[in-house]
């Protein structure tokens, strides 16, 4: 048989050669690192023998599908260990996830975090045995009978929903699981793993179903990369915005008020206000008009827009005087009504409406996560209505704004284009035009991108901007959505040069996205130590003794008049204790005031990161940091 490799080269092999043997013949390293293969666009195990001339690409851990295969194989090792240690446990599902895997179990008796080391120990035994993963295909009815006999009710339920005549299963010694595969050749490949946590999980994510126990883990081919990942997780714990939000007195989310709703304390509200002021200034400079829409709109409008049909499971509804209303999950409807309030000419376009609009979305309590996933949040939402000729320049203008703003915060970023989902509105022709417009703008800006098939908004394709934070995690914040459908549904038009009515195109876009979520990302990105311009307190004045209190208050007063955000600590406490407290509060600058400073009209400057900066006059300090305290301008 003839095998064609990704570089176009071809090699001939005897008809009974397995993919594993082919990989070894190409190169010892490829043979060692390959864990699966793609044969004529089909992902398969390495023990497969190609039956015809084929195109083959070998998959290693470094490939996206390789990570999924490796970690899903690790989940099978964990499940086998659990079944050995806890007889009578029922298996639910065990997929790979970003950076790891999990498996849901129904245990005869509840297990605890203290049981995880035992499971890891048994997993190590299974790995050392190098047990092969063996694929079998059974008739559907035979698979149902087998899992019924094994007492695996959850597997039976899953198989009964499958329409295929056959079901694939994988065995590894005494363990069997329903699985599409592929898997690594044997358990010995799973050399480095760790079980991370234990959580509750409803079967199929439905709170009406039984609560199962979910074990999370991660796995890597090398101990070094596992250790690096665990160090990142430890660093992420230190940066957890929920903990820092509490310690820095920024916000709270309390059961008494309701899950998914954030309460901003003075310092957190100030940081958020600073972000919003920065955004307003930059949008006004770029020709946006600030608008404000209502929180409730009649249900008929949400039906007209398609939200009721395509998005209602995420919406809240209410009734006022026998009229039904939808609480807005998005801001676009009011912006279109503003556009429709009078006749528009081509000379008026583009029109750019900007709103810091608070929206509400129905989220299940199980997915709520601090500021990252809320039921009520504020978006820096804008809608641009433009002519077809203006579309390219408007998309590129938004991209430019995103790049400029992310530079202020020090984020690296990547672009991803999402195409038409199955649940959507609008014609195929309009979707093709909208998608082409987004792709063309990125290409005109010479920006690399990936394509995420079928993950667009229901009304149009989108560009998502993924940010990389200080410890390498990716966050989706900014988005640009191109919409031909809603202007059609709301009969938006403008009068063209020819005097006829024409349809505008609408761009939905956010830069930071949810202000609340972005604030959570910033807290973790900076580990709570905001840049000086964004810090709720920029300077703290600390006294060594009561004798310098009057001068300290005078220093604070002068700084406030110069636009600094200042606090004083005049308590009768040791100065070392005061400094430690101020550093824990992540305050950028501490000014130490003793008798010498009071006499000379100076201040002793300490920075939260590099410590003592020496004694200078107050004017010199103000001049040296003046540029740091003001809002950045782009």
Q: What is the pLDDT of residue 398?
A: 97
**Active-site residue flag, 179:** no
**Active-site residue flag, 462:** yes
Q: What is the pLDDT of residue 414?
A: 95
In this predicted structure, the answer to whether residue 193 has a pLDDT above a threshold of 80 is yes
Q: Region 72-101: what's the mean pLDDT?
A: 95
In this predicted structure, the answer to whether residue 69 has a pLDDT above a threshold of 80 is yes
- If one counts every other C-beta atom within 10 angstroms of the C-beta of residue 461, the result is 28
First to last CA, the chain: 61
CATH code given to domain 2-60? 3.10.20.30
In this predicted structure, the answer to whether residue 633 has a pLDDT above a threshold of 90 is no
The pair of structure tokens assigned to 433 is 């035009």
> Could you say which of 67, 76, 508, 509 is catalytic?
508
> Could you say which of 172, 379, 481, 538 is catalytic?
379
Label residue 64 by pLDDT band (50, 70, 90): confident
CATH code given to domain 260-294+328-525? 3.30.930.10
> Could you say which of 381, 430, 464, 469 is catalytic?
381
The β-bridge relationship of strands 316-320 and 323-327 is antiparallel
**Active-site residue flag, 379:** yes
Task: List all residues 6 or more positions away from 357 whose beta carbon is below 8 Å from its beta carbon.
Answer: 292, 293, 328, 331, 378, 379, 381
Label residue 173 by pLDDT band (50, 70, 90): very high
Yes or no: say if 176 and 126 are a contact pair by the CB < 8 Å rule.
no
- Mean pLDDT (the chain, rounded): 94
> Could you say which of 462, 525, 565, 586 is catalytic?
462
How are strands ordered across the β-sheet holding 54-60?
10-12, 2-4, 54-60, 34-39, 42-44
Residue recorded with tokens 């939260």 = 608
The pair of structure tokens assigned to 300 is 């008929």
Same fold for the domain at 260-294+328-525 and the one at 532-629? no
The pair of structure tokens assigned to 411 is 């984020």
**Active-site residue flag, 508:** yes
> Could you say which of 332, 386, 477, 482 is catalytic?
332
**Active-site residue flag, 361:** yes
- If one counts every other C-beta atom within 10 angstroms of the C-beta of residue 49, the result is 15
**Active-site residue flag, 381:** yes
Yes or no: say if 371 and 252 are a contact pair by the CB < 8 Å rule.
no
HSE value, Cβ hemisphere, 13 Å, CA-based, for 308: 13
Q: Region 611-627: what's the mean pLDDT?
A: 94
Label residue 373 by pLDDT band (50, 70, 90): very high
> Could you say which of 328, 383, 420, 525 is catalytic?
383
The dihedral built from the CA positions of residue 232, 237, 241 and 247, taken in this order, carries a sign that is negative
The pair of structure tokens assigned to 328 is 């807005």
> Could you say which of 135, 361, 375, 578 is catalytic?
361
Q: What is the pLDDT of residue 365?
A: 81
Domain boundaries, the chain: 2-60, 67-238, 260-294+328-525, 532-629
Label residue 51 by pLDDT band (50, 70, 90): confident
Yes or no: say if 524 and 369 are a contact pair by the CB < 8 Å rule.
no
pLDDT digits (tens, 9 = 90+) for 525-581: 999 999 999 999 999 999 999 999 999 999 999 999 999 999 999 999 999 999 999
Yes or no: say if 317 and 360 are a contact pair by the CB < 8 Å rule.
no
Task: List all residues 6 or more positions away from 124 whose beta carbon is below 8 Å from its beta carbon.
Answer: none
The CATH architecture to which 532-629 belongs is 3-Layer(aba) Sandwich (3.40)
Q: How far is CA 141 from the centre of its chain?
A: 41
**Active-site residue flag, 11:** no
Class of CATH domain 67-238 = alpha beta
Task: List all residues 6 or more positions away from 390 whose beta carbon is below 8 Å from its beta carbon.
Answer: 349, 350
In this predicted structure, the answer to whether residue 329 has a pLDDT above a threshold of 80 is yes
Catalogue the long-range contacts made by 324-328 (C-beta closer than 8 Å, 24 or more residues apart): 324/298, 324/299, 325/296, 325/297, 325/298, 325/299, 326/296, 326/297, 326/298, 326/299, 326/301, 326/302, 327/295, 327/296, 327/360, 328/293, 328/294, 328/295, 328/296, 328/297, 328/357, 328/359, 328/360
């Amino acid at each position: 048989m003839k095998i064609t490799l990704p570089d176009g080269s071809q090699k001939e092999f005897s008809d009974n050669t397995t993919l594993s043997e082919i990989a070894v013949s190409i190169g010892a390293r490829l043979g060692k690192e390959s864990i699966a293969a793609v044969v004529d666009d089909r992902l398969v195990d390495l023990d497969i023998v190609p039956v015809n001339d084929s195109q083959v690409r070998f998959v290693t851990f470094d490939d996206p599908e390789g990570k999924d295969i490796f970690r899903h194989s690790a989940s099978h090792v964990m499940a086998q260990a659990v079944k050995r240690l806890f007889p009578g446990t029922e298996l639910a599902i065990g997929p790979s996830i970003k950076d790891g895997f999990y498996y849901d179990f129904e245990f005869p008796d509840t297990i605890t975090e203290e049981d995880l080391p035992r499971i890891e120990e048994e997993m190590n035994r299974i790995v050392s045995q190098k047990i092969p993963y063996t694929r079998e295909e059974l008739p559907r009815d035979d698979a149902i009978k087998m899992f019924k006999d094994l007492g695996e009710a959850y597997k039976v339920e899953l198989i009964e929903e499958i329409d295929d005549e056959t079901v694939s299963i994988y065995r590894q010694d005494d363990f069997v699981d329903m699985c599409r595969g592929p898997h690594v050749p044997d358990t010995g490949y799973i050399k480095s793993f760790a079980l991370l946590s234990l959580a509750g999980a409803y079967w199929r994510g439905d709170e009406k179903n039984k609560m199962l126990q979910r074990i999370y883990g991660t796995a890597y081919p090398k101990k070094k990369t596992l250790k690096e990942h665990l160090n990142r997780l430890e660093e992420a714990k230190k940066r957890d915005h929920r903990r820092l939000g509490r310690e820095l007195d920024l916000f709270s989310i309390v059961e008494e008020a309701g899950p998914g709703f954030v309460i901003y304390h003075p310092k957190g509200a100030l940081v958020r206000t600073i972000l919003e002021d920065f955004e307003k200034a930059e949008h006004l400079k770029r020709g946006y008009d600030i608008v404000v829409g209502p929180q409730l709109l009649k249900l008929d409008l949400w039906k007209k827009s398609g939200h009721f049909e395509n998005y209602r499971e995420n919406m809240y509804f209410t009734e006022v005087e026998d009229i039904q209303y939808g609480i807005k999950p998005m801001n676009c409807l009011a912006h279109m009504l503003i556009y429709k309030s009078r006749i528009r000419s081509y000379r008026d376009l583009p029109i750019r409406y900007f709103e810091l609009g608070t929206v509400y979305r129905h989220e299940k309590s199980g997915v709520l996560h601090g500021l990252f996933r809320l039921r009520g949040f504020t978006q820096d939402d804008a809608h641009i209505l433009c002519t077809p000729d203006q579309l390219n320049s408007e998309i590129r203008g938004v991209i430019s704004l995103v790049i400029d703003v992310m530079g202020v915060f020090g984020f690296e970023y990547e672009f991803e284009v999402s195409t038409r989902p199955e649940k959507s509105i609008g014609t195929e022709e309009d979707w093709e035009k909208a998608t082409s417009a987004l792709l063309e703008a990125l290409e005109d800006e010479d920006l690399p991108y990936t394509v995420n098939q079928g993950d667009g908004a229901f009304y149009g394709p989108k560009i998502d901007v993924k940010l990389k934070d200080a410890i390498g995690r990716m966050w989706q914040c900014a988005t640009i959505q191109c919409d031909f459908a809603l202007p059609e549904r709301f009969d938006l038009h403008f009068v063209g040069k020819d005097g006829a009515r024409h349809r505008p195109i609408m761009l939905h876009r956010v830069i930071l996205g949810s202000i609340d979520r972005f604030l959570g990302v910033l807290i973790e990105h900076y580990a709570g130590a905001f840049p000086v311009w964004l810090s709720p307190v920029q300077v703290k004045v600390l006294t060594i003794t009561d004798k310098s209190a009057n001068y300290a208050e005078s220093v604070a007063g002068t700084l406030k008049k110069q636009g600094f955000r200042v606090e004083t600590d005049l308590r009768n406490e040791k100065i070392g204790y005061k400094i430690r407290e101020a550093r824990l509060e992540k305050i950028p600058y501490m000014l130490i005031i003793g008798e010498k400073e009071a006499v000379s009209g100076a201040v002793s400057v300490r920075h939260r990161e590099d410590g003592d900066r020496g004694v200078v006059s107050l004017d010199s300090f103000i001049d040296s940091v003046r540029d740091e305290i003001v809002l950045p301008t782009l």
